Structure formats: C-alpha cells, structure tokens
Amino acid sequence: MRGRDFVWTVTGAEDITEHCRRVRFTDGGMLAATGAHPTMWVRVWFPGAGRPHQRAYTLVDPDAATGAFAVEFALHEGPASRWARGARPGDVVRVTVQGSAFELPDPVPERMFLIGDRASVPALNSLLTALPEVPATIWLETRHDSDEGLPLRIRPARHEVRRLPREEDGARLVADVRATLPGLIGDPAGAYVWVACDTVTTRALARFARKELAVPKARLHALGYWRP
C-alpha cells in the first residue's frame, strides 16, 4: 500500500461508554519516524474470517517523546470491535501509516464550525486542543443515549455543542446545519469549517459550505469517515 508499517503493543484499555472503548498503546517507533499532527490517522489491521481487515483510526494524545497514545473504538459488529473488546496488555496489532496529512488553518480562524459524529470525536478533540482559544460551534451526531458521555474537550465559555440523534441516514444533521450555519458564519474567509461524518453526509455538507456559503477551499476540510 506504499505506506510505512509498524507494530503497536497494548498497554491498557478501559470503557468510556457501553459503546466506546479506549485502548492505549506504545507505537513501536512510529511517532519518532512520522511525527504527529492534529487529526492524525492510521490504518490498523485486524484478523477476521481467515484474512486481515483494515480500518482507519485517529490517534488520541500522541506523545512522540514516549511513543504512547490511545485509540477510541466505536463499538459495533465487526473485526475491529471484536478485537478492541478483548484487547489486553501485551497484545499487538500491525498498522500502516498512509495518507494522513493535515495542516491547521493559517491564519487562525475567527471561529470554527466542527461537524462530526462519535467516530470523529478523537479528531474533533484534537482540533479543540490545538486551537483552544478559537470560539467554536460543534455539531455532534449521536446514535446512543450513552453518547452523551463521550468526552468533548470543550470550554463552555467559547464552545457551543449541538447534539442531534442520527435520523433518516443523517438527514436531520444536514438539515440542522443548513438551517443554522448561515446565521453564524459571518465572513466565510474568517471562518473554518471541518466536516467528518459518513461519506454521504460529509459530501452534502461540504458542497453546501462551498457552493452556498462561499467558504474558501483553504477554510474547508471535509473527510468521509465511514460509509453508511
């Protein structure tokens, strides 16, 4: 896959909610070789049905000095979730670093508009950590009541969170953003819009921001995290 391969080792794990599990790792030299950036993701390989399956995951709090970080798994059916549920210290997985690249907006935006779901919470949090002084409106699409317990690194004085349950394959989230964002965005050149949901929702909202709100290309980042 023209990527760089490493082996991670599990150092611990804990449940964040009944549908989200955090697994902590050491990186096998990965961060020293690649560095780290906000929203950084890698491909992780899991066994299943006699063959490997790859899934992409965002690193949580990567520390290049120690090679330590965590990954938060949204639990459902599938080889990745099965592996995460049973992960114990000493377990290993193979990973491939390929294609993850991201630069913080420059100049720093006057306001951020972050749109995601439970799968993109780690990446969303990395942005809030990297730009803590920037006011932000956050749309978070949820699937379970327990998603209210997902850790968002917000500062109540600067950050507004709009939680919406997933309905009609994401149509409710799209409708809420379309109804609300135009009244908040102000000068599109001074804003920053970041979208990371399922591919259909992400494309719809990126198109809306670009074509109807005239958000400049450099002030819009959109990546479909999963396929419905």
Look at 78-82, 98-102, 137-141, 197-201 and tell me which has the smallest mean pLDDT.
Answer: 98-102
pLDDT of residue 117 exceeding 70, the answer is yes
Q: Where in the chain is the domain with CATH 2.40.30.10?
A: 4-97
Q: Looking at the domain 4-97, which fold is it?
A: Elongation Factor Tu (Ef-tu); domain 3 (2.40.30)
Instruction: Please give the backbone phi and psi of residue 61, each rounded to the nearest 5 degrees, phi first.
Output: 55, 55
Q: Looking at the domain 111-222, which fold is it?
A: Rossmann fold (3.40.50)
Closest CA to 101 of 36, 31, 32, 57: 36
Rounded-to-integer distance, Cα 204 and Cα 193, Å: 13
Rounded-to-integer distance, Cα 33 and Cα 13, Å: 25
Mean pLDDT, residues 173-200: 96
Q: Where in the chain is the domain with CATH 3.40.50.80?
A: 111-222
Q: Check if the beta carbon of residue 96 is closer than 8 Å to that of residue 42.
A: yes
Q: What is the pLDDT of residue 1?
A: 47
Mean pLDDT, residues 85-106: 92
Q: Order of strands across the sheet with 136-142?
A: 159-165, 136-142, 111-117, 191-196, 220-222
Mean pLDDT, residues 68-76: 94
Please give the helix or strand (H or E) that residue 40 lies within, else none. none
pLDDT band of residue 189 (cuts 50, 70, 90) is: very high
Q: Check if the beta carbon of residue 108 is closer than 8 Å to that of residue 136.
A: no
Query: Structure tokens of 63?
Result: 């520390």
**Per-residue pLDDT reduced to its tens digit, 18-67:** 999 999 999 999 999 999 999 999 999 998 888 889 999 999 999 999 99
pLDDT of residue 228 exceeding 80, the answer is no
pLDDT of residue 2 exceeding 60, the answer is no
Q: What is the pLDDT of residue 147?
A: 87
